[in-house]
Structure 1
């Protein structure tokens, strides 16, 4: 672990255990609430997946007209359709059908309807001769280690039956608003090193991040790929269209309905038990923090009351001593060696010197290293001397 990582871990640990763990308990409570909310959302999505019918493209029209399928507010019904990917231009019925509008991968040459190109620049950091501030900067600039740029190209596509299919038996895939992961296949993956330049040497010398490699990756959704579409299906101008549902974690997937249910059920159980564990842990940590801070507050209040009482007693004694000193004239040989105003009334222990008044003796005792003003011996306590 590098020095700046150790500094970051130390800073986070001090922040987490501040206020006797109250910050850590609040963070655990937040994570528990997030887990419970995700569990509720996944449970709702799991119930919808159980109720959603799974069918082929040819059976879509007859099932949509059946009232047993769950309907949305706009009349769309939640279904799971399995079919092969095909470009929409082949069923448009115009000049585009002579040359299908598809995308071609530059690296593999495969035909696709979705191409995602990702370029990630990987950075390294050397402290350098003048790069001592980089440790402080790294605490807040760890994201500078990688810079990623992603480009996504897409053409309209449909799902059709495998093999022979007629034009009416297809469903248009509407990708508007889709945030679910796509079942893309990686066709190109290469890490290219970046050759150093004089500018790179200067960056390293002064402790700045400098590029060391470029990761180039390309993923596609191929024509003919057999996938499942989970979403709200409706008919527009006699053409079936399916769009994503915001309440479901899936839209396009290579899994079947049963596989989706098993995968989502496992994630739901993990979220449930993590919410229970984090919630119990947060209650324990917060309870411990509250108890510790409550005891600290009571101890502080008790000390405050003792200080107020001792201060009141000291004031009473001082007023009494001052009154006695005012009534009688104090000879010079009996004056306090510190204030030279009041009579000597307190003897130090263990040296036994009677050289200070009670107020000055108390002030000497409250010092960090109390010493007798005469012999400079360590003072443990003082005692009031009364004249008979």
Structure 2
């Protein structure tokens, strides 16, 4: 770990432990609340997937017809029914009987030549993080510019496709996959992967000299959803013009996946357990730290209030102990060299310990002692107390 990273870690530690750990306790409480919200969402998705029927493509139409009739007669809703369908990817024009446009409705990889219904190409720029001679400036800049810098560009293309039953032909039963509004991860297959180095330029040398990140390589990838791939679709399915169509459900973490229903249930069950116990542990830690911090700060406040009260009580008692001297300081003629450096009206009577400077009257010396960090007004050295000086 470099010096700058150690300094950043020390600063973050000081911030986290500020106010006797109150900041750390609040941060853990925030993470615990987020874990509880994720646990609630995962539990709801687990219940829905567990109770959703797992159907084959030929059985889908009969189930949807009966469910649609029941829903229309009761509430008139056409949102669809949550189902889990396992099928093979096929282009939609193949089941429409439009064999002439079959080739134009299939996406072909530019590099590998493989056919698919989804084509995703990603170009990622790889940067070197050498700090250079003036690399300390990148520590502050990286906190803000790293998230703004666009290090990859992605192009996404898709054609209408369906899920069919096995490799039977011709296909009489199919379900159309509606990708509109879906942000779920797709089970894509990588068909091309190439890392191309970037030739350095004079500008690259300047970037390296001043600690700027400079590009050293370009990673080019192509991923497709190939024809004939066996996948599982989880979503809301309904009949539109007599054709079954399935679309994604925003409340579920899956839409198109390689996993079966049993694998999805096992995966979600494990996630819910991890989120539950992590939220309990983080919540307990945050409550303990916040409680400890509250008790510590309350005790410090009470001690400070008691010290202030004792200091206010000490001032009149000192004046009452020697009223003659107080009257003499108020009414007597004092030369300029013997005046208090703070009030400039009373005689110097108190010396500070440990510096020993005799520069203040008794009242001003007591007021200096009551400060949070008392220091001598002459040498600015920290003082513990003051002592009254009497003339012989």
Tell whether the structures are fold-level matches, with TM greater than 0.5.
Answer: yes
* Correspondence 1:124-203 to 2 at 5 A: 124-143=128-147, 147-203=151-207
1:322 offset after TM fit, Å? 3.5
Query: Secondary structure, in 3 states, of the residue corresponding to 1:85?
Result: strand
Structure 1 Cα separation of the partners of residues 324 and 117 of structure 2: 99
Q: How many residues align?
A: 376
**Is the Cα contact below 8 Å between 1:318 and 1:359 reproduced in 2?**
no
2:130–2:211 Cα contact (<8 Å) kept: yes
User: Is the 2:107–2:116 Cα contact (8 Å) retained in structure 1?
Assistant: yes
- Aligned equivalents of 2:239 and 2:322: distance in 1? 97
Shift of 1:102: 0.5
Contact 2:232 2:257 in 1 (8 A): yes
Equivalent-residue separation in structure 1 for 2:208 and 2:352 (angstroms): 67
Pair 1:32 & 2:36 matched: no
Distance 2:157 2:246 in 1: 20
Query: Relative to 1, partners in 2 of residues 1:182 and 1:4: Cα closer, same or farther, differing over 3 Å?
Result: farther
1:223 corresponds to: 227
Contact 1:32 1:274 in 2 (8 A): yes
> Displacement of 1:205 after TM fit?
2.0
Structure 2 residue corresponding to 1:382, chosen from 363, 367, 387:
387
> Quick check: 72-81 or 14-23, which moved more?
72-81
Equivalence map 1:242-321=2 (5 Å): 242-314=246-318, 316=320, 321=325
CA distance, structure 2, for counterparts of residue 303 and residue 191 of structure 1: 69
Deviation of 1:149 after TM superposition, in Å, equals: 0.9
Aligned-pair CA distance for 1:27: 1.1
Distance 1:52 1:186, change over 3 A: same
**Structure-2 change in CA distance of 1:169 and 1:97 (3 Å):** farther
Please list the CA deviations of residues 63-106 of structure 1 after superposition, one character each: whole Å capped at 9, or x if unmatched: 22344999795341000000000001112344644545100111
The residue correspondences of 1:293-372 to structure 2 (distance < 5 A) are: 293-314=297-318, 316=320, 321-323=325-327, 337=338, 358-359=362-363, 368=375
TM-score by length of 2: 0.83
- Equivalent residue number for residue 60 of structure 2: 60
Tell me whether 198-207 or 33-42 shows the greater mean CA deviation.
198-207
Deviations 1:131-178 (A, max 9, x none): 542232233333478701111111010000112144430000001111
| C-alpha distance in structure 1 between counterparts of 2:89 and 2:218, whole Å | 32
Residue 193 of structure 1, CA deviation: 1.4
Gaps of 5+ in 1: 372-377
- Three-state SS of the structure 1 residue aligned to 2:58 is coil
Indicate the structure (1 or 2) with the bigger Cα radius of gyration: 1
Contact 1:28 1:279 in 2 (8 A): yes
Aligned equivalent of 1:85, options 86, 89, 96: 89
Assess, with a 3 A threshold, how the Cα gap between structure 1 residues 41 and 344 changes in structure 2: closer, same or farther. closer
Contact 1:122 1:146 in 2 (8 A): no
TM-score by length of 1: 0.83
Cα shift readout 1:210-266 (whole Å, capped 9, x = no counterpart): 101111111110000000000000000000000001111100001111111001111
Aligned to 1:9: 9
1:303 and 1:44 map into 2 onto residues whose CA distance is 56
1:91-135 deviation line (CA, Å, top 9, x unaligned): 234464454510011122110001111111011133334554223
For structure 2, the 5+ residue unaligned runs are none
Q: Match for residue 206 of structure 1?
A: 210
CA deviation after TM superposition for structure 1 residue 336, in Å: 10
Deviates more, 1:315-324 or 1:17-26: 315-324
